[in-house]
Amino acid sequence: MKRTYMITGVILALLGAGMSVNFAAESPDPMAPRAEIRYVSPAPPYGLPQTIEDLENDPVTPEQLRLGKNLFFDTILSDDRTIACASCHRPDHGFASPDAKSPGVHGQVTLRNAPTLFNRALAKSFMWDGRIATLEEQVLNPIIDEREMGLPLEEAVSRLKQSTTYSQAFQLAYKNGVTQENLARALAGFTRRIWLGNSPVDHFVDGNVGHLSVEARTGMWIFESKGQCWRCHTPPSFADEDFHNTGVGVRNGVAEPGREAITKNPEDRGKFKTPTLRGLTLTPPYMHDGSLTTLEEVVEFYRKGGEPNPNLDRHIQPLDLSDDDARNLVEFLKALSITVDPPENQ
Ligand code: HEC
Ligand code: HEC
């Protein structure tokens, strides 16, 4: 099966022109300027579904996408003007945070690890406990969150209205200019177009085997057989968008509430949303609490059967993996972070 591939040149042409100059003046901390361009495109890359409902329901113009990007990098949306979305979702760190808990405004830190924003167009719910249903809702959340950006939405809207640059940019992007709804649309439209695909694994499953090392191929086999990983980490994003208790965060046999806090169902105790496995080499530390720092540690965690607690998922059991198996599994996970560029035979 052949999939259409968005050629990098087209992406650069679409996003590159006139994008960052004004913005750089407003943001003192550009955070790996332009690294993000590699990952942002109007259409999904090779290896991901080419038709995604959420994407089709949210067509964006180049002006809207550019506005969303500028907002994502701008500290104007935080109370003390020190924090941008990109401070925690760092483009040079796979749109995740290098800190287990990220610093927000006024010296506060987040309660959980900031996850990657890759392929969120495929998400069915947001946050580690899935408490948010739509991306439009989710992108406004960090602005008001006291641990993150701590800015009331009315204040955010009024700041944007006062800025000549933003007034014009909103006017160009949306007929009715700066509104709270347009702020959400712009941020969601941009976030929805941060992708990672086109990995050696995607080529391998399409029959183009040469890109995947022998070690990673063996690792893939373990992933799909005795590792049991595939039960929850299902393609294309290698996440089933469901909630499971793997024992992360368990102290003295007691799990954190996790999903139970949302559903009030005791069976959901200690369950968290399965994260994507694309981009892992870019995004340490891992897990909702950022408690594991290397992929070797993650594999070791699963090898010993997670962390015992009354609600541990039945698929989390001690694994019979040799040291070679464990190494190969890590090689497979690493392959999901590589992009084959340009793709061959396309
Ligand atoms: C201070 C750090 C911080 C800032 C600033 C921040 N985030 Fe986040 N973000 C997080 C953390 C932590 C989570 C996970 C929280 C949880 O699950 O309880 C998260 C979760 C998300 C998610 C959900 C991802 C998923 O797969 O469930 C999205 C989307 C998101 N943030 C987008 C944004 C946008 C857009 C902005 C800017 C308006 C932003 N974030 C600003 C730390 C931050
Ligand atoms: C029962 C479902 C389930 C199985 C089986 C499973 N996982 Fe997970 N995985 C999860 C959940 C849920 C999380 C998040 C746990 C948390 O933070 O509380 C996770 C987290 C991870 C992470 C961290 C990703 C990040 O960005 O933080 C990696 C890596 C990972 N799993 C790899 C694997 C591998 C490799 C296997 C097989 C050995 C495996 N998983 C088996 C559900 C599962």
What whole-number distance in Å separates Cα of residue 95 and Cα of residue 89? 4
Span 46-67, pLDDT tens digits: 999 999 999 999 999 999 999 9
Domain annotation covers residue 226:
yes
Judged against a pLDDT cut of 50, whether residue 16 lies above it is answered with no
If asked whether residues 180 and 213 sit together in one domain, one would say no
- Report the separation in Å between the CA atom of 274 and the middle of ligand 2, taken as the mean of its atom positions: 6
CB neighbour list of residue 171: distance below 8 Å, 6 or more residues apart: 177
* pLDDT score at 20: 33
Residue nearest to atom 26 of ligand 1 (CA): 126
* pLDDT score at 167: 96
What whole-number distance in Å separates Cα of residue 158 and Cα of residue 148? 19
| Residue among 89, 246, 294, 299 whose CB has most ligand 2 atoms within 8 A, to mutate | 246
- Report the separation in Å between the CA atom of 99 and the middle of ligand 1, taken as the mean of its atom positions: 13
Judged against a pLDDT cut of 90, whether residue 321 lies above it is answered with yes
- Residue type present at position 264: K
If asked whether residues 78 and 124 sit together in one domain, one would say yes
CB 136 within 8 A of CB 188: yes
Span 92-104, pLDDT tens digits: 999 999 999 999 9
Class of residue 56 by CB neighbours under 10 A (exposed 0-12, middle 13-18, buried 19+): exposed
Q: Which of 156, 127, 115 is nearest to 286 (CA)?
A: 115
Judged against a pLDDT cut of 70, whether residue 5 lies above it is answered with no
Domain annotation covers residue 343:
no
Domain annotation covers residue 345:
no
* pLDDT score at 38: 77
What whole-number distance in Å separates Cα of residue 167 and Cα of residue 158? 10
If asked whether residues 154 and 253 sit together in one domain, one would say no
- Say what the alpha-carbon torsion angle 263, 301, 117, 75 is, to the nearest 10 degrees: 90
Domain annotation covers residue 91:
yes
If asked whether residues 156 and 205 sit together in one domain, one would say no
With a Cβ cut-off of 6 Å, ligand 2 is lined by 227-229, 231-233, 244, 246, 248-249, 272, 274-275, 277, 280, 283, 286-288, 298-299, 302, 313, 315-316, 329
If asked whether residues 299 and 183 sit together in one domain, one would say no
| Residue among 74, 83, 85 whose CB has most ligand 1 atoms within 8 A, to mutate | 85
Check pocket membership of 201 for ligand 1, CB cut-off 6 A: no
> What are the C-alpha distances in Å from 246 to residues 129, 259, 292, 309?
14, 13, 13, 9
If asked whether residues 247 and 216 sit together in one domain, one would say yes
Check pocket membership of 187 for ligand 1, CB cut-off 6 A: yes
Span 194-237, pLDDT tens digits: 999 999 999 999 999 889 999 999 999 999 999 999 999 999 99
Token pair for 309: 């607690």
Ligand nearest to the CA of 243: 2
CB 312 within 8 A of CB 245: yes
Least confident of 29-38, 49-58, 138-147: 29-38
If asked whether residues 275 and 152 sit together in one domain, one would say no
Ligand nearest to the CA of 184: 1
Judged against a pLDDT cut of 80, whether residue 295 lies above it is answered with yes
Give the residue-averaged pLDDT of 279-291. 98
| Residue among 233, 248, 250, 322 whose CB has most ligand 2 atoms within 8 A, to mutate | 233
What whole-number distance in Å separates Cα of residue 16 and Cα of residue 78? 26
Domain annotation covers residue 1:
no
Residue nearest to atom 37 of ligand 2 (CA): 229
Judged against a pLDDT cut of 50, whether residue 319 lies above it is answered with yes
Q: Which of 158, 191, 224 is the last residue of a domain?
A: 191
Domain annotation covers residue 340:
no
pLDDT higher for 111 or 23?
Answer: 111
Ligand nearest to the CA of 69: 1
Number of domains in the chain: 2
Q: Which of 142, 173, 191 is the last residue of a domain?
A: 191
The model carries a pTM of 0.91
What whole-number distance in Å separates Cα of residue 74 and Cα of residue 83? 8
Span 85-139, pLDDT tens digits: 999 999 999 999 999 999 999 999 999 999 999 999 999 999 999 999 999 999 9
Q: Which domain holds residue 266?
A: 200-335
> What are the C-alpha distances in Å from 209 to residues 91, 201, 203, 230, 236?
30, 8, 7, 20, 18
Domain annotation covers residue 341:
no
Check pocket membership of 142 for ligand 1, CB cut-off 6 A: yes
If asked whether residues 266 and 155 sit together in one domain, one would say no
If asked whether residues 174 and 232 sit together in one domain, one would say no
Token pair for 6: 């968005």
Q: Considering the chain, what is the average pLDDT of its residues?
A: 89
What whole-number distance in Å separates Cα of residue 156 and Cα of residue 255? 37
If asked whether residues 27 and 80 sit together in one domain, one would say yes
CB 100 within 8 A of CB 113: yes
**Residue 193 CB-half CA count within 13 A:** 30
Ligand nearest to the CA of 90: 1
How many other CB atoms sit within 10 Å of the CB of residue 211?
Answer: 18
CB 243 within 8 A of CB 259: yes
Q: Which of 136, 162, 191 is the last residue of a domain?
A: 191
- Residue type present at position 2: K
If asked whether residues 214 and 305 sit together in one domain, one would say yes
Token pair for 93: 């760190």
> What are the C-alpha distances in Å from 201 to residues 194, 218, 341?
19, 12, 13
Domain annotation covers residue 297:
yes
CATH number at 62 reads: 1.10.760.10
If asked whether residues 34 and 180 sit together in one domain, one would say yes
Give the residue-averaged pLDDT of 304-315. 97
Residue nearest to atom 12 of ligand 1 (CA): 114
What whole-number distance in Å separates Cα of residue 316 and Cα of residue 303? 9
* pLDDT score at 341: 73
